[in-house]
Each structure stands twice: as C-alpha cells, then as structure tokens.
Chains A and B, each alone.
Chain A
Amino acid sequence: MRCIGFALGLVLLAAVPALAQKVDSKGVPYRAWDVDGGVGFLSLTSADSGVGDEGYSSDIWNPSWTTSFDVGHFWNNHLKTESGVSILQRHTTWSNEIVPLAGGQRGHVATTNDIQQVQVTAAATWQFFENTFAHPYVTGGARFGLLQIDSTSETYLFPVSGNGYPTRSSEPVHSDSLKARVWPFIGVGSKSYFNERSFVRPEMTLAFNGRGPSQFGARLVFGIDF
C-alpha cells in the first residue's frame, strides 16, 4: 500500500512541471504558482500593535522581527494574487487605571498584556518584464491583524488617609481575548531568480490606519515557482 502511494506521489511530481507551466496570450511562458518563506522586520505604531487602552501615544513605533510564508497564483505573465501569513514577536504592554472606591478610597488596577500578533495578507501583485531573471513588482491589498491577548490584572488599594504603600487587594486575574484589525497596504519589491524556478524576493511594505502610515516592513523571502 505504501509502495502504491510512493509511486503515485512520483507520478504526480513528474506531472507538476507539465501541468503548471502556462503560456499567456502573447506566447510568454510562465509558471502558475509560487511559494516562499523568509524573515524580515515590521515596525508598527502602538495603535496597531497594542490593545488600544494603554493610553500610549498612537504614533510610537515598535519594531518586531517577522517570519512569513506566502503562496501566490499567477493569472497571466504579470498579475498574481497572493495570500500569506506573518508571525510577529510577542509584545508586552501595560495599562494603569485609578478607580475611585466607596469611602474615599482609591484602587489602582495594573494590567499587563502579553500580545501575540499574526497577520494574514491578501494581495494583488503586478510584476514587470516578461520571462526574465529579475521582475520588479508593485503590490497592494489588505492585511488582517489577529491579536491574541493574554492579560493579567492586579488591583491595589491605596490607604484611605496619610502616607503609605498600596496593598494588593486580591490575586492576579488572568483573561484571554482576541482582537482583529484590518489595514490596507502597498509595497514594492523584486522577484530575483537564481535559476528557472528558485528566487529571492526583497520587499518593502507600508500599511495605513485611519491616522496615516502605521506599519513599515522589509523582508527577504526565498521561494520556488511550480
């Protein structure tokens, strides 16, 4: 049984080059799919990287290393639609809140947010030149940010009168939540080939939120056409 599966796999692999290579209306050959993966950095404003209730200025930039993977489909020699996923570094934010309590006492709620952001992209890419070893391109689309937030809140009580240290009133409270955000983005890059199929792709992107540019990224990915 295993032998049959192996043979079928071999047949499929052998058929891939013939199946995938296409020729557009101008007679230019191209391969219909590509996959790639690589590393880079992404700098996000606190409005895009934080929970949103930290009270930070929204335009403080926070850098993060990223690992990303993409798969793309060429509709002709120039136009590609692509989806990908980028995993950002974990990021911690803090928020503080003073809560007035009965009897003139004040409470202090300190919250730590441990944030893991994953971004999913959907993009359309236009690459220049035909069947060459270097294809500069422009790209644009939407970037969906999924923030998994692990929050820990601790409440402290200030003394009613006089000086003194606040005392913790209860055990830390843990909570998990998810936030989703979406941003439009644009980018430029160059798909530069080592040989007929394998390539490296340096790329720079800029994403926007309601206040203007909010994410700047650069990455280097390696991939293969099939």
Chain B
Amino acid sequence: MTNCRRFIGALVVLALSIPSAAMAQFETAGEAERWHDLAERLEPAALISVRLKDGSRTRGTVVGVGSSTMTFAPKTRIPVPPRDIRFDDVASIERTKQGMNPGAKVVISAASVVGGMLAIAALIFASGID
C-alpha cells in the first residue's frame, strides 16, 4: 500500500513537471529569436545593457549579429576584446545612455559641498557684520 502511494505521488509530480519544462523550452526558443531580431535592428554603436540568465549584467555595444550569437564589445575602462554571447543565454536587452563618468560626478559633488559650506560661511559672516 505504501509503495502504491509513493508510485502515485511520483506520477503526480512527473505529470506536473512535464508541461512546465515543455513551456520553458518553448519560451527559451522564442526568446532567443526575439533577442536575435532586436539585436539585428539596433543601429550601429547603440549602447545597450545585457542581462544574462546567470544574473550577470554588462553594458556595451553590439558589433555583429550571427544566427545564434551576437558579438558584443563590453564598455569597460580598460578596453577588452569583443566576445560572443549566445541569444539562448540572454535574459534581457535594454537600451541605456552614456552617463557622466564617476570621476566627474565625484568632483561635482565635492564642489557642491564646498560651495554650500562657503555659502553658509558667507551668510554667517554677513549676519555678523550687521
């Protein structure tokens, strides 16, 4: 009786898992085609952010599109060679913008803080004159 219950339980689990696996396979195949189409339609030097299914995210530009892979040049500080990314591995592709570099942001922030402090000091000095 116990063996029979285990067998039925295993069958139920198997029956439940088959459709989801098939759906996942179907979605992956469809997704890869869509990412391929999207990559082909990107204009030259478009900056994009690619998230892979392993969770990693990279910014860069697409420099070539094949049937199952795209050649991607990551936007790194020290230039690195372009690499191939399989469309099957892509979780998302988003357009992104070229922002201000972090160094400039730090300098502007520091200048703002110093400017604010000077302004406060000037106000205190001015109120002291009266």
Contacts and interface: CB of A to CB of B under 8 A. Distances in A.
Given A200-B107, A202-B110, A220-B110, A29 B78 contact: yes
Contacts of B77: 131-133, 193, 196
Given A202-B110, A220-B110, A192 B105 contact: yes
A225 to B, nearest CB: 9
Interface of A: 21, 29-31, 131-134, 190, 192-196, 198-200, 202, 220
Contacts of B105: 192
A192 B78 contact: no
Interface of A is mostly: strand
Contacts of A192: 101-103, 105-106
B78 A21 contact: yes
A195 B103 CA distance: 8
Interface residues of B, number: 13
Interface of B: 76-80, 101-107, 110
A133 B102 contact: yes
Contacts of B102: 133-134, 190, 192-193
B101 A195 contact: yes
**Most A CB atoms within 10 A — which of B76, B77, B106, B110?**
B77
Nearest to B104: A194
